[in-house]
Amino acid sequence: MFDKILIANRGEIAVRIIRACKELSIRTLAVYSKADADSLHVQLADEAICIGDAPSKDSYLKIDRIISAAEVGDVEAIHPGYGFLSENAHFAEVCENCNIKFIGPSSAAIRAMGDKVAARETMRKAGVAIVPGSDGPVENEQDALKIARKIGYPVIVKAAGGGGGRGMRVAHNDPSLVKGYHTARAEAERAFSNAAVYIEKYIENPRHIEFQILADRKGRTLHLGERDCSLQRRHQKLLEESPSPALTTDLRKKMGKAAIKAAEAVDYVNAGTIEFLLDATGEFYFIEMNTRIQVEHPVTEEVTGIDIVKEQIRIAAGEELGYDQKDIQFQKCAVECRINAEDPFNNFQSSPGRIEFLHVPGGHGVRVDTHVYAGYVIPPHYDSMIAKLICYGRDRRMALDRMARALDEFIIRGIKTTIPLHKLVLKDPNFRRGRYSTNFVERLLAASQPLVPPKGEEPIPAHAVARE
C-alpha cells in the first residue's frame, strides 16, 4: 500500500480523495493555486505545495510543476481526480516514466478511449452496439451531408477530442447540418485544440445510462450497476440516480455485460464508466467511456456500499478486488443533486463570492460531499459546483422524500445556488414517477418561466449570521 499520495486536484473531489487516504493511513500532499490557499483540501492534507497562479492552465494543468511537487514531496502515487489532468494520456505517461503510480488506467487505455472516434471503432470491433454514425472523423462538408443522409436525420455532430457538451451540434436538415458542422469544429478547436468531429444518429429524448466499472490488475472486471444521468441542462448533469427507473433486471444484465465487454476491449484497469444512450424502444448504444472517477460516484457508493475511491487506490497499489460480480449487491436507491454556485433565476449566471452562512443537511440517509465552509470565498476561476447532496433509502420514493427534506434544510447564504431548481425537480410529478429524459430540465424551466424564488426564502437577520 502506498505511503504517500499527491492529489492533483481541488475542491470537493480533492477532499474526497484525502478522506479515503486518511482512512487507509496514507499521508497526503495537496497542490493548490494561489486562489486556493484557504481551500479545505489544503487544510485537510498533511502537506501542501503551491503550484501556480489562479488560472487552471497556470496551476492545476501544469504537469511539470505537479511532477516536481510529487518529487520534492516524495510521493509514490498521484490521484488525478476528475477533470484537469485525469484523462490526459500524456500526464499518465509522464507519471509512468517518473516511476510515480498514476491512480487510474494506463496511458494507452486513456488514449484509446479519449479519442471518441477510435473508441467507437474499438467498440464496433468488440461487438458492443454503437450509435449508427460516421466511420471516422468527417473531413469536409460534402462528406458530412453524405453521412447524414445515409443515417437519416436528425443527426448530431460531436467533437472527437472531448465531451462535456462542447463541440456538439444537432441538425435536422441539410442547411443546419452544414452550419452545425462548422460551428462544432470551431468550438472543438477552442475546447480541445482538436477540430476533428464525427457524426452520429441523434436519438431523440434518450435516457443517459452509465455503468460504473471496477477492474483490478489481476484481470477481474466488474460493474457496480448503472446511474441514470438523464437530467441535464446544456449537456451538464444536474441530478443522478441509481437504479434507473427505466431499467428492468433483464436490461441491467444485458447492459452490464456490454459495459464489461467494452472495458475489457481496452484492457481497462481501475475505475471507469461506460456511457450508453437508451432509446424509447429499449435499444441501447455505447457513446463513450470516461476513464476516471466521476462526479456522481457517491450514488453508486450508497447503492452498493463499496468505497470506489478506496478501491481505486487499492487497485493502483496492486491489490486484488477480492470479490466477484455475484457479490455486488444493490442494497439501496440513491439520488444525487449537484449544487452549483449559479443563479437559476438569472440564466444560471455564476455566483462566486463569500459564503456568509451555511447549514448543511443531515440525518438518516443523507450525505453531503463538499469543500465549502462558512466564511469560505468561492473563487471565480473554476467550475461552479460547490456541493453534492446524496440521499438514499430502501426504495426510490424514500430516497426522493429524503432529498426533498434535505434540500429544505440546506441553507447557503451570500451566494446564489441551484438549490431552488432542485426543489422544483423534486416536486415534479413526472420526475417522481421516473418519467423523464434528457429534455426534461429544459421543459421544466420553460414551463416555470419566469422562475420566481419560492416563498419563505427571506434573507436571515444580520445578528443570526455567523461572524469571524
Partner 1 sequence: MELEQIKAIVAMMKDNDLSEFSMEQDGLKLRIKRGPDEFQQTVTLPPAAPAQLTAAPVSSQASAPAPAAPAPMPVAAADAKHIESPMVGTFYRSASPDAPPYVELGQEVDVETVVCIIEAMKVMNEIKAEVKGVITEVMAENAKPVEFGQKLFAVRVK
> Does 458 participate in binding partner 1 (rule CB under 8 A)?
no
Return the residue of 14, 67, 92, 239 that touches partner 1, per CB under 8 A.
Answer: 67
| Amino acid in the structure at residue 18 | I
For partner 1, what does the binding mask look like between residues 97 and 136, x meaning CB under 8 A? -x--------------------------------------
Decide: residue 459, CB within 10 A, 0-12 exposed, 13-18 middle, 19+ buried: exposed
- To partner 1, the closest distance from the beta carbon of 40 in angstroms equals 7
Residue 71 binds to partner 1 (criterion: CB under 8 A)? yes
Alpha helices in 81-213 (DSSP H): 89-97, 107-114, 116-126, 141-151, 174-192
Distance CA 259, CA 307 (A): 20
Q: Which residues contact 247 (CB under 8 A, 6 or more apart)?
A: 209, 226, 228, 255, 278
Q: Which of 15, 69, 213, 231 binds partner 1 (CB under 8 A)?
A: 69
Query: Residue 292 catalytic?
Result: yes
Total length of the chain: 468
Grid coordinates of 374:
462558512
Residue 230 contacts residue 438 (beta carbons within 8 Å): yes
Least distance from partner 1 to the Cβ atom of residue 8, Å: 12
From the CB of 314, what's the least distance to partner 1, in Å? 25
Report the distance separating Cα 328 and Cα 319, nearest Å. 18
Q: Decide whether 28 or 418 has the Cβ nearer to partner 1.
A: 28
Which of 81, 91, 115 is closest to 5 using CA atoms? 81
Binding to partner 1, residues 41-60 (CB under 8 A): 42-53, 59
Closest CA to 105 of 259, 226, 220, 216: 216
Site string for partner 1, 364-383 (x = CB under 8 A): ---------x-xx-------
Q: Which stretch binds partner 1 (CB under 8 A): 380-388, 432-440, 442-450, 460-468?
A: 460-468
Nearer to partner 1, 49 or 321 (CB): 49
Distant-in-sequence, close-in-space partners of 130: CB < 8 Å, separation ≥ 6 = 120, 123, 124, 285, 286, 287
Instruction: Return d(Cα 435, Cα 327) in angstroms, integer.
Output: 30
* Interface pick for partner 1 out of 21, 35, 40, 77 (rule CB under 8 A): 40
DSSP 54-101: SSGGGTTT-HHHHHHHHHHTT-SEEE--SSTTTT-HHHHHHHHHTT-E
Nearer Cβ to partner 1, position 101 or 158?
101
Here the cell at position 115 is 479519442
**What is the bridge-based pairing of β-strands 4-7 and 27-33?**
parallel
* Site membership for partner 1, residue 141 (CB under 8 A): no
Q: According to the binding rule CB under 8 A, does residue 2 interact with partner 1? A: no
Which residue among the candidates 227, 233, 252, 292 is catalytic per the annotation?
Answer: 292
- Which listed range, 40-48, 252-260, 340-348, 399-407, lies at the site for partner 1 (CB under 8 A)? 40-48
The distance of closest approach from Cβ of residue 47 to partner 1 in the complex, given in angstroms and rounded to an integer, is 5
What is the Cα–Cα distance from 117 to 234, expressed in whole angstroms? Answer: 22
Task: Give the one residue of 3, 23, 38, 204 binding partner 1; rule: CB under 8 A.
Answer: 38
Site size with partner 1, rule: CB under 8 A? 33
Instruction: Tell me the closest approach of the beta carbon of residue 64 to partner 1, in angstroms.
Output: 7
| Residues within the interface to partner 1 (CB under 8 A) | 30, 34, 38, 40, 42-53, 59, 64-65, 67-69, 71-74, 98, 373, 375-376, 466-468
Catalytic residues: 292
